[in-house]
Amino acid sequence: MGTQDQTQQAQQIDKRAVLAVILALKERESFVLKYGDIEDALEELVEDEDEYYKVRYGFYDLLYDQWIKGVRNLKYIYYIYEDENESSEDLIVVSPVELEMEQLNTLREVAELLVYGLCPVGDEKCGNDVEEVVTETINGLIRKWSLGCRTESTPARAAYVIAKAYNLDVREVEFVPANVGSGGSVTYSIENIVKVKQIFWYCNDCIVRAGNNFIEKCSTWEFEDNGEQDTTEVSGYD
């Protein structure tokens, strides 16, 4: 599937669903979300019950088509595990980079440990928390695959990436310049509800020639606590 087709399909998603994903990323500080986390965030965003279910089921249909049919209809958002008893326990991964099918299959195999466990049946001494191990392992893999020499991979970075990819309102609200010896930052507001901050500094982990000087700007991302969140219904979307 070409990039243009992917972009057109990605635009089918209601932007309120994407914002709910971002709110869930902030709440969990993890690339791994449960579908219930997204449902809870969406419920805070959309007060009208009929509209809530319309957005919720529309988003779930896109995720399920990705899961069952292998349709690449979402960018950076991936369905990796279906709980047989409760859809709110399904696992969704949000990555700051697009993942290849081989990588997705690896994540899905890791998630299958939720079914098969880590301990032999009857071994009472084995105290591994399967859900915790699965989450930490998947987080580690996403971080490894999306880590750049100059950019640290975090859930806040994933939030910024999907906000831009799905055309949410992203605005720069603060800029602090960096000098040699001290770092700077750029703070972005997403739909006037969530703030993410890119923190950057000069480093020599990767050397890039800039004129006669060797300068490299490395960065990381974090969510910024902006006090009371305005979770009034986001309107104006089709």
Instruction: Give the integer Cα–Cα distance in Å for 28 and 8.
Output: 29
Give the whole-angstrom CA distance, residue 172 versus residue 225: 16
CA separation for the pair 178, 200 (Å, rounded): 7
Please provide the DSSP assignment of 166-195 as one string.
TT--EEEEEEE--BTTB-EEEEEEETTTEE
Instruction: Evaluate whether 21 touches 77 at the Cβ level (below 8 Å).
Output: yes
Tens of each residue's pLDDT in the chain, 238 residues: 344 444 444 457 899 999 999 999 999 999 999 999 999 999 999 999 999 999 999 999 999 888 887 778 899 999 999 988 898 999 999 999 999 999 999 999 999 998 887 776 666 656 568 899 999 999 999 999 998 777 889 999 999 999 999 999 999 999 998 776 678 899 999 999 999 999 988 776 565 554 445 556 788 999 998 544 444 444 343 3
Residue 197 Cα distances to 56, 64, 131, 190, angstroms: 28, 32, 29, 11
Global pTM reads 0.84
Q: How many CB atoms lie within 10 A of CB 97?
A: 16
Rounded Cα distance, 42 and 93, in Å? 17
Residue pointed to by tokens 């969704």: 92
Cα 223 versus chain centre, distance: 12
Query: For residue 197, what are the β-bridge partners?
Result: 187, 222
The C-alpha atoms of residue 218 and residue 204 are separated, in whole angstroms, by 9
Name the burial class of residue 159, with classes exposed (0-12), middle (13-18) and buried (19+) by CB atoms within 10 angstroms of its CB: buried
Separation between Cα atoms, residue 170 and residue 162, nearest integer Å: 11
Residue 118 corresponds to which tokens in the numbers above?
Answer: 């880590």
CB atoms within 10 A of CB 113: 16
Q: Supply angle C-alpha 188, 24, 195, rounded to 5.
A: 15
